[in-house]
Amino acid sequence: MSSEAPLALVTGSSSGIGLAIARRLLDDGWDVIGVDRAPPALAHPCFSPVTADLTDGAAAEAAARAAGQVDALVHAAGVLRVAPLGRQDPQDAERMWRLHVDAVSRIADVVLPAMASAGHGRVVLIGSRVSRGIAGRGQYAATKAALASLARSWAAEVVAQGVTVNVVSPAATQTAMLDDPARAATSPKLPPIGRLIQPEEVASLVAYLLSPAAAAITGQEIQVCGGSSLSA
């Protein structure tokens, strides 16, 4: 790693959107610490993998403390479990809450105060358009909706210290999550552009929000929806 490069902590860096973000930041000259339960999918001199199960709150906090002073936090780790009313699994709900909400809350408790003390920092949480509600995905939607509330609350606390906190919420994105057998009965709805969102498109917006040019954008939820919001 370079002592001159900014340092980003990216969760979920072994696949999907998290992997695309890690790759984009490395291309942009960042050093990246990638935290994931799965083995790393990147081999790069400026990439440091950390294996951790973020559904374990203590492990999430330990990973944040081990990272030290970071310039950016991107929480992209996620899992999707779907079920209609009457067949919802409380364990699935707990797992999604722990991974999507509790993990980043614990990490933020470590890294955000340090960013505020340093007078600069960027946080981006990966949300979902599903957070507005969709049949059969209530538990998932609830955890993603919570991220928007956390982001606005945290942004209000650190805005005067040069730290921004935003949410990027994609529509259906081409990731391995779509191939999960647990959601085999629910096909993703294509956005009006006629194709799935690509992880690299989400990563491009995240990279901008982490840049100095985005210093005036905070507390926002920005959709990468391929036109899905036009009729919403």
Q: How far apart are CA 120 and CA 159, in angstroms?
A: 10
Q: For the segment 6-47, what is each residue's pLDDT rounded down to a tens digit?
A: 999 999 999 999 999 999 999 999 999 999 999 999 999 999
Is 140 considered catalytic here? yes
Q: Which of 60, 140, 155, 225 is catalytic?
A: 140
Highest mean pLDDT: which of 77-81, 82-86, 104-108, 140-144? Answer: 104-108
- Tokens representing 118 are 């340093």
Residue 85 has pLDDT above 80, yes or no: no
Question: Bridge partners of 9?
Answer: 33, 73
The band of 192, judged by pLDDT with boundaries at 50, 70 and 90, is confident
The pLDDT, as a whole number, for residue 139 is 80
DSSP track, 173-228:
B-SGGGG-GGGTTSPPPPPTTSSPBPHHHHHHHHHHHTSGGGTT--S-EEEE-TTG
Q: How far apart are CA 46 and CA 1, in angstroms?
A: 4
The band of 182, judged by pLDDT with boundaries at 50, 70 and 90, is low
Residue 129 has pLDDT above 60, yes or no: yes
The band of 140, judged by pLDDT with boundaries at 50, 70 and 90, is confident
Task: Say whether 40 sits in a helix, a strand or coil.
Answer: coil
The pLDDT, as a whole number, for residue 135 is 64
The band of 136, judged by pLDDT with boundaries at 50, 70 and 90, is low
Of 61, 43, 37, 24, nearest to 206 by C-alpha is 24
Measured CA to CA in angstroms, residue 153 lies from 78, 82, 108, 137 at distances of 21, 28, 12, 25
Classify strands 31-36 and 47-51 as parallel, antiparallel or unpaired.
Answer: parallel
Q: How far apart are CA 137 and CA 127, in angstroms?
A: 14
The pLDDT, as a whole number, for residue 41 is 95
DSSP state of 171: S
pTM, full prediction: 0.90
Residue 211 has pLDDT above 90, yes or no: yes
Q: How much is the mean pLDDT over the chain?
A: 90
Q: Compare 121 and 185 and report the one with higher pLDDT.
A: 121
The backbone region for 29, taken as left when phi is positive above 0, alpha when psi lies in -120 to 50, beta otherwise, is: left
The whole-number average pLDDT for the span 211-230 is 92
Q: For the segment 143-173, what is each residue's pLDDT rounded down to a tens digit?
A: 999 999 999 999 999 999 999 999 999 988 7
Of 100, 38, 32, nearest to 67 by C-alpha is 32
Handedness of CA 135, 147, 197, 34 (dihedral sign): negative
Handedness of CA 151, 154, 157, 161 (dihedral sign): negative
Q: For the segment 57-72, what is each residue's pLDDT rounded down to a tens digit?
A: 999 999 999 999 999 9
